[in-house]
């Protein structure tokens, strides 16, 4: 008898343990997923946050009349002028290779920067004074403390010599750091310290606009037809299956469609937001249709009956009453689809939106790139400084995605069903 | 009582109304053959709507045709059997126009095995994690926990794949490599493992949300019956809920697999282009999607076998994912009907 | 067409002609027959009530009269229903025009989630019944007065209609229906979602309305049928068992089933 009792309690114990184990499996699974999310986002923020700050170096520049001709500013050799001033700051440097290193402290754009400063403020001319220039990417990283100084000199992109120069400059107050406006105001560049995301951002906005204006009307009209008017027959169920399948077709296949059909058959201009937007719109179409249909379905039939019962035609009943009530849901679905499109990369690679674009595109038929493609391109670049740029671009992308999703949530909250 | 009501009603029961009809009511003729609103406009709207619904079909047709035609011209140069069963993949561009047989070899087997290897790793990660998340969320989690966890998992689903790719290539792969070095394993810097692991994480939310729906659709009465017999929660889930939900869950796994096979950016950034025929997850492999990107980005001459092969790969990819999607949609729909 | 319309209008003046004549109406939902050979005349400017146990086909018959059944794809109607001697299932009939002439009030109040004013003005707007704002204001007021709601809502016409009480909402639905000036108003258990006071108000209103409209009302309440209607038709399992003056049906039913129903033995 005791035997039986111990047996049951043993059994019960093992059952309780199994129960506990099961519960913990679930917790661990969710824990791993969320831990990954936080680690990934955390590491990206960690790498990217330094982009918000950029460094400048000051040197004394003589802009006297024998250096710059006030009447003919543009003829001046600004690069040579700055190099001369750099040599004057560090007179002890004599070897050719060291001089080259010295010039490399400043951004490759230094001549142009000086020219801009003079044009903006002609009073600078005629005297010798301290002026600020953007530091080169390696110096920038060094000043922000992102360079590991414990490593062997050969493993770093910056030598001990350069580090000494910078230390000297820093001590004499000739370095400063400030908010990195350039990252948000510039287009792409071969020089990491000058590269910005504006061209990619504008490219993304243009592409998304095309995508929205094409997919939104088509998707909601299709959804309305399928949900409210389509007879229940073979054709409508074929369309339905079609849409569900399209929603799961790999995005790269849409890119192939764009390449073969839009570029090679229709001859639309390659690499442009127009084609990118069209391809993305075909991709988001099923997403919006499915969301819109769900939203239309949730409008109670009594509303339709009320309208039809008083002699509204089906079209009137739908467009006057059903669609306005379903609109918040439709818009939410649209925003979710747009957010997907914003992060989509592969199809854009297929249609050539992967080129190096330094200028901000001003129309949908100019070559452009998009934010996720820019991320892809920078992730591939060899300069160490592009790593933080990539992370920062990802942060910008995520901020936009978060904003869009917040908008969707707000819409959903605001128009929570009231009927 | 009714009789009383009838009494009081009696006075109204006369053949003519006791008040004259108001002019406002009578002014309208009884016309039921023509309406006041415009019919033509409505036909136009309807026509436009039908046309819009056809776009979905047009897109499918467009995909099929464009892949098909390019593939046909590819298969005129490279035989289908060589493409499907050849084990060497090295598409070359002819250096000179007159160069003979310089187009390289187009055996897709290494790409197919590479794709399968990475997808398999991804599913090994995503299936247990996704399923247990779904079970925990639908059977154990409090409402509050659910309200926090679900949106977080949705964030995971909303992160663009290029971000996952970046993370896989720059954080996960080096980490695996140095861990491998420490325990004496040679891990390639573009290992299948890194791409597969990260891809698995990416698919978790898809599987967990689909399975969550499926598990929720299992009728409460089944659970009650099992719990009423003295089963514990986990026994109920294992012996009653999961068996009932198996079809739906397998549908969601198929959809996950199709997603893994078609995923592009993670493998482009983390798996590389080495067409190795291997089952070792620590080695570098390439995939169908990664090759398509490699073949079609940058300069391309149209009509070369190299460019065309990308479309053949695309067709293969489209057919495989389409079959997986169709089966999974069928299963899920059947399952829904069963419990609706 | 003109001539036809005139002929119809002149018909109206003949007091003995019923406004609606249903002849041999059968209704099927798929293979299931919901109505079997119904023939029923509905007199003009009277209230006719349809009574009978649940599922006997009252709503189905009612919905045949303004062809709301067209919306149910599996529903098939045979036989003939004439309104003002015009077959409403004839080829040339436009259901939209028909429903503008045969209004409907539903079981659950279903105002549009818009303002009170817009609810009433919607019908006249789509049927182009008024050309300008002041006409429309007048029509809205007329409808709301007819529905006995004007005094309660005249100061908040722009408020959302779903904020009204259930009884007010139902009266708004009636106002909305009469704003289109139909000839016939169909009411499917209009009071079943309402409390007794709201019900009493609506019953009074129905009695009032029959001066201008012919009304058919489906009800489960024998008292209501007796209070508001002059004619009654009793349905049972898809058949019309008997119909006639309300007084006769309730005091001396010819059929045993009617007898059983009104005394509460079936249904
Ligand atoms: N849309 C439909 N599809 C299939 N069958 C239907 C449909 N509407 C009604 N029926 C069937 O037709 C028969 C008559 O239904 P109807 O709604 O007319 O009954 P009713 O007399 O109005 O009942 P109640 O008093 O409960 O409203 C019922 O058996 C019902 O099941
Ligand atoms: Mg009914």
Residues B130, B236, single domain; the answer is: yes
Q: How many domains does chain B have?
A: 3
* Residue B83 is assigned to a structural domain of this protein: no
Strands C20-29 and C32-42: antiparallel
A122 contacts A138 by C-beta, under 8 angstroms: no
| Mean of per-residue pLDDT scores for chain B | 85
Three-state SS string across chain B, please?
Answer: CHHHHHHHHHCCCCCCCCCCCCHHHHCCCCCCCCCCCCHHHHHHHHHHHHHHHHHHHHHHHHHHHHHHHHHHHHHCCCCHHHHHHCCCEEECCCCCCCCCCCCEEECCHHHHHHHHHHHHHHHHHHHHHHHHHHHHHHHHCCHHHHHHHHHHHHHHHHCCHHHHHHHHHHHHHHHHHHHHHHCCCCCCCCEHHHHHHHHHHHHHHHHHHHHHHHHHHCCHHHHHHHHHCCCCHHHHHHHHHHHHHHHHHHHHHHHHHHHHHHCCHHHHHHCCCCCCCCCCCCCECCCHHHHHHHHHCCCCCCCCHHHHHHHHHHHHHHHHHHHHHHHHHHHHHHHHHHHC
Q: Which 148-187 residues of chain C touch chain B by CB within 8 A?
A: 181, 183
C114 contacts C125 by C-beta, under 8 angstroms: no
What CATH number is given to the structural domain containing C55? 3.40.50.300
Euclidean distance between CA atoms B247 and B256, whole angstroms: 14
Does position A116 have pLDDT exceeding 70, yes or no? yes
Residues B147, B285, single domain; the answer is: yes
B106 contacts B305 by C-beta, under 8 angstroms: yes
Q: How far is A179 from chain B (nearest CA, A)?
A: 25
Cβ contacts (< 8 Å) between C103 and chain A: which residues? 309-311
User: Which atom of ligand 1 approaches the CA of C52 most closely?
Assistant: 21
What is the DSSP-derived secondary structure letter of residue A258? I
The bound ligand whose nearest atom lies closest to the alpha carbon of C74 is: 1
Query: Within chain A, which residue ranges are assigned CATH 1.10.3720.10?
Result: 198-418
* Residue B169 is assigned to a structural domain of this protein: yes
- Any ligand 1 atom below 6 A from CB of C58: yes
* Residue B229 is assigned to a structural domain of this protein: yes
Residues B65, B151, single domain; the answer is: no
Euclidean distance between CA atoms B242 and B259, whole angstroms: 23
Window from A206-210, A325-329, B116-120 with minimum mean pLDDT:
A325-329
Q: How many domains does chain C have?
A: 1
pLDDT of amino acid A189: 84
What CATH number is given to the structural domain containing B165? 1.10.3720.10
Residues B250, B211, single domain; the answer is: yes
Residues B209, B243, single domain; the answer is: yes
CB-closest option in A265, A394, A405 to B163: A394
Cβ atoms < 10 Å from Cβ of A178: 11
User: Which atom of ligand 1 approaches the CA of C107 most closely?
Assistant: 27
CA A59 to chain centre: 35
The burial class, CB within 10 Å (0-12 / 13-18 / 19+), for A84 is: middle
* Residue B65 is assigned to a structural domain of this protein: yes
Local confidence band at A6 (pLDDT 50, 70, 90 cut-offs):
low
Chains contacting A (3+ CB pairs below 8 angstroms) = B, C
B192 contacts B114 by C-beta, under 8 angstroms: yes
CATH topology classification for A198-418: MetI-like fold (1.10.3720)
The bound ligand whose nearest atom lies closest to the alpha carbon of C53 is: 1
B211 contacts B131 by C-beta, under 8 angstroms: yes
Local confidence band at B340 (pLDDT 50, 70, 90 cut-offs):
low
Residue C50, classed as helix, strand or coil, is: strand
Does position A394 have pLDDT exceeding 50, yes or no? yes
Does position C28 have pLDDT exceeding 90, yes or no? yes
Does position A382 have pLDDT exceeding 80, yes or no? no
Residues B71, B206, single domain; the answer is: no
Residues B41, B179, single domain; the answer is: no
Euclidean distance between CA atoms C157 and C70, whole angstroms: 34
Give the domain range for residue C192: 5-262
Average pLDDT over residues B228-234: 85
Residue with CA closest to ligand 1 atom 4: C29
Average pLDDT over residues B191-206: 94
Cβ atoms < 10 Å from Cβ of C213: 23
pLDDT of amino acid A326: 93
Does position B228 have pLDDT exceeding 50, yes or no? yes
Chain C CA closest to residue A314: C96
Spell A29-39 as b/e; 16+ CB within 10 A means b. bbebbbebbee
* Residue B235 is assigned to a structural domain of this protein: yes
- Any ligand 1 atom below 6 A from CB of C34: yes
Give the domain range for residue B15: 1-30
Average pLDDT over residues C73-92: 90
Cβ contacts (< 8 Å) between A345 and chain B: which residues? 160-162, 264-265
* Residue B280 is assigned to a structural domain of this protein: yes
Average pLDDT over residues B286-306: 83
Does position A380 have pLDDT exceeding 90, yes or no? no
Residues B180, B281, single domain; the answer is: yes
Per-residue model confidence as pLDDT tens digits over A311-352: 899 999 999 999 999 999 999 999 999 999 999 999 999 998
Q: How far is B6 from chain A (nearest CA, A)?
A: 31
Residue C37, classed as helix, strand or coil, is: strand
Does position B237 have pLDDT exceeding 80, yes or no? yes
Average pLDDT over residues B298-319: 84
Residues B22, B38, single domain; the answer is: no
Chain B CA closest to residue A283: B59
Check C103 against A316: CB less than 8 A apart. no
CA B269 to chain centre: 21
Q: How far is C143 from chain A (nearest CA, A)?
A: 14
* Residue C267 is assigned to a structural domain of this protein: no
- Any ligand 1 atom below 6 A from CB of C59: yes
| Mean of per-residue pLDDT scores for chain A | 87
Average pLDDT over residues A286-310: 93
Strands C214-218 and C47-51: parallel
pLDDT of amino acid C121: 94
Q: How far is the CA of C65 from the centre of ligand 2 (A)?
A: 14
Does position B11 have pLDDT exceeding 50, yes or no? no
* Residue C79 is assigned to a structural domain of this protein: yes
Local confidence band at B4 (pLDDT 50, 70, 90 cut-offs):
low
Strands A53-62 and A128-134: antiparallel
Per-residue model confidence as pLDDT tens digits over B239-294: 888 888 888 899 999 999 999 999 999 999 999 888 888 888 888 899 999 999 99
Question: What share of chain A in percent tops pLDDT 90?
Answer: 44
Residue with CA closest to ligand 1 atom 25: C54
pTM of the full structure = 0.87
- Any ligand 1 atom below 6 A from CB of C29: yes
Residue with CA closest to ligand 1 atom 14: C57
The DSSP bridge partners found for residue C75 are C29
Euclidean distance between CA atoms A255 and A272, whole angstroms: 13
pLDDT of amino acid C150: 92
Does position B172 have pLDDT exceeding 80, yes or no? yes
Write the DSSP assignment of B111-138 as a string of letters: HHHHHHHHHHHHHHHHHHHHHHHHHIII
Pocket test for ligand 1, best of C49, C55, C217 (most atoms within 8 A of CB): C55
CB-closest option in C8, C246, C251 to B30: C8
């Amino acid at each position: 008898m005791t035997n039986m009792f111990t047996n049951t309690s043993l059994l019960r114990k093992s059952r309780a343990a199994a129960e506990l184990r099961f519960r913990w499996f679930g917790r661990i699974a969710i824990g791993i997923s969320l831990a990954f999310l936080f680690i990934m986002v955390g590491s990206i923020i960690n790498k990217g946050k330094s982009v918000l700050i950029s460094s400048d170096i000051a040197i004394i520049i003589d802009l006297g009349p024998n250096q710059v001709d006030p009447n003919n500013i543009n003829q001046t050799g600004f690069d040579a002028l700055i190099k001369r001033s750099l040599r004057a700051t560090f007179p002890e440097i004599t070897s050719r290779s060291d001089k080259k290193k010295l010039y490399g402290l400043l951004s490759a754009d230094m001549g142009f920067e000086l020219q801009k400063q003079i044009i903006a403020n002609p009073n600078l001319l005629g005297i010798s004074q301290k002026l600020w220039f953007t530091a080169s990417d390696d110096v920038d990283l060094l000043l922000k403390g992102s360079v590991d100084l414990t490593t062997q000199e050969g493993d770093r992109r910056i030598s001990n010599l350069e580090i000494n120069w910078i230390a000297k400059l820093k001590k004499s107050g000739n370095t400063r750091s400030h908010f990195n406006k350039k990252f948000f105001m510039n287009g792409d560049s071969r020089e990491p310290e000058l590269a910005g995301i504006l061209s990619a951002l504008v490219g993304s906005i243009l592409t998304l606009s095309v995508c929205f204006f094409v997919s939104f009307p088509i998707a909601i009209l299709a959804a309305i037809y399928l949900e409210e008017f389509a007879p229940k027959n073979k054709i409508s169920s074929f369309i339905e299956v079609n849409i569900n399948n399209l929603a799961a077709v790999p995005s790269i296949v849409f890119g192939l469609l764009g390449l073969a059909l839009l570029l090679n058959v229709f001859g639309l201009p390659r690499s442009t937001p127009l084609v990118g937007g069209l391809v993305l719109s075909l991709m988001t179409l099923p997403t919006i249709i499915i969301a819109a249909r769900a939203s239309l379905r949730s409008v109670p039939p009594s509303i339709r009956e009320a309208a039809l019962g008083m002699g509204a035609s089906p079209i009137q009943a739908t467009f006057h009453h059903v669609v306005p009530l379903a609109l918040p849901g439709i818009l939410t679905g649209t925003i979710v689809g747009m957010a997907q499109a914003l992060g989509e990369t592969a199809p854009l690679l297929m249609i050539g939106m992967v080129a190096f674009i330094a200028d901000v595109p001003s129309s949908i038929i100019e070559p452009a790139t998009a934010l996720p493609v820019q991320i892809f391109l920078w992730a591939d670049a060899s300069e160490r400084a592009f790593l933080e740029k990539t992370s920062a671009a990802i942060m910008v992308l995520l901020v936009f995605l978060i904003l869009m999703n917040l908008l969707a949530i707000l819409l959903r909250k605001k128009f929570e069903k009231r009927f | 009582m009714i009789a009383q009501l009838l009494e009081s009603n009696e006075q109204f029961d006369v053949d003519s109304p006791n008040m004259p009809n108001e002019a406002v009511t009578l002014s309208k003729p009884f016309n039921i053959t023509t309406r006041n609103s415009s019919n033509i406009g409505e036909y136009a709207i309807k026509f436009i709507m039908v046309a819009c619904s056809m776009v979905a079909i047009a897109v499918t047709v467009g995909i099929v045709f464009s892949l098909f035609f390019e593939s046909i011209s590819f298969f005129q140069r490279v035989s289908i059997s060589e493409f499907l069963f050849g084990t060497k993949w090295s598409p070359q561009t002819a250096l000179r126009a007159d160069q003979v047989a310089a187009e390289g070899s187009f055996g897709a087997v290494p790409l197919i095995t590479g794709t399968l290897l990475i997808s398999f790793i991804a599913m090994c990660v995503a299936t247990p994690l996704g399923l247990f998340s779904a079970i925990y969320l639908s059977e154990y989690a409090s409402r509050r926990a659910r309200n926090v966890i679900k949106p977080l998992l949705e964030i995971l689903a909303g992160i663009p794949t290029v971000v996952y790719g970046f993370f896989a290539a720059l954080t996960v792969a080096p980490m695996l490599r140095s861990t491998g070095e420490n325990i004496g394993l040679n891990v390639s810097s573009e290992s299948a493992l890194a791409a597969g692991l990260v891809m698995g994480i990416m698919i978790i939310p898809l599987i967990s949300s689909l399975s969550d729906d499926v598990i929720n659709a299992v009728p409460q009465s089944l659970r009650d019956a099992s719990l009423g017999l003295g089963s514990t929660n986990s026994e109920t889930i294992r012996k009653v809920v999961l068996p009932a939900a198996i079809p739906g869950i397998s549908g969601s796994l198929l959809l996950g697999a199709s997603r893994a096979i078609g995923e592009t950016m993670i493998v482009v950034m983390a798996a590389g282009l080495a067409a190795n025929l291997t089952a070792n997850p620590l080695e570098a492999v390439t995939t169908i999607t990664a090759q398509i990107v490699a073949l079609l980005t940058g300069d391309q001459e149209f009509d070369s076998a190299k460019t065309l092969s990308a479309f053949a790969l695309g067709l293969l990819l489209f057919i495989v994912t389409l079959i997986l999607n169709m089966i999974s949609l069928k299963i899920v729909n059947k399952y829904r009907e069963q419990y609706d | 067409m003109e001539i036809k319309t005139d002929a119809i209008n002149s018909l109206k003046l003949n007091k003995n002609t019923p406004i609606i004549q249903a002849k041999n109406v059968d209704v099927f939902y798929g293979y299931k027959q919901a109505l079997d050979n119904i023939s029923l005349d509905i007199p003009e400017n009277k209230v006719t009530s349809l009574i009978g146990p649940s599922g006997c086909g009252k709503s189905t018959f009612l919905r045949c009269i303004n062809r709301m059944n067209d919306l149910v794809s599996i529903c098939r109607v045979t036989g003939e229903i004439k309104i003002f001697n015009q077959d409403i299932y004839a080829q040339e009939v436009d259901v939209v025009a028909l429903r503008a002439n045969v209004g409907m009030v539903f079981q659950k109040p279903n105002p549009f989630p818009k303002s009170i004013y817009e609810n009433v003005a919607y019908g006249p707007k789509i049927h182009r019944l008024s050309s300008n704002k002041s006409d429309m204001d007048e029509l809205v007021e007329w409808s709301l007065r007819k529905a006995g709601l004007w005094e309660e809502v005249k100061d908040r016409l722009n408020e959302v209609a779903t904020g009204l009480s259930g009884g007010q909402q139902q009266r708004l639905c009636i106002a909305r229906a009469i704003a289109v000036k139909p000839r016939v108003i169909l009411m499917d258990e209009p009071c079943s979602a309402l409390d007794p006071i709201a019900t009493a108000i609506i019953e009074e209103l129905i009695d009032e309305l029959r001066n201008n409209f012919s009304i058919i009302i489906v009800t489960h309440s024998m008292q209501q049928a007796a209070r508001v209607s002059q004619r009654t038709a009793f349905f049972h399992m898809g058949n019309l068992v008997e119909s006639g003056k309300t007084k006769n049906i309730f005091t001396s039913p010819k059929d045993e089933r009617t007898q059983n129903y009104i005394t509460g033995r079936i249904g």
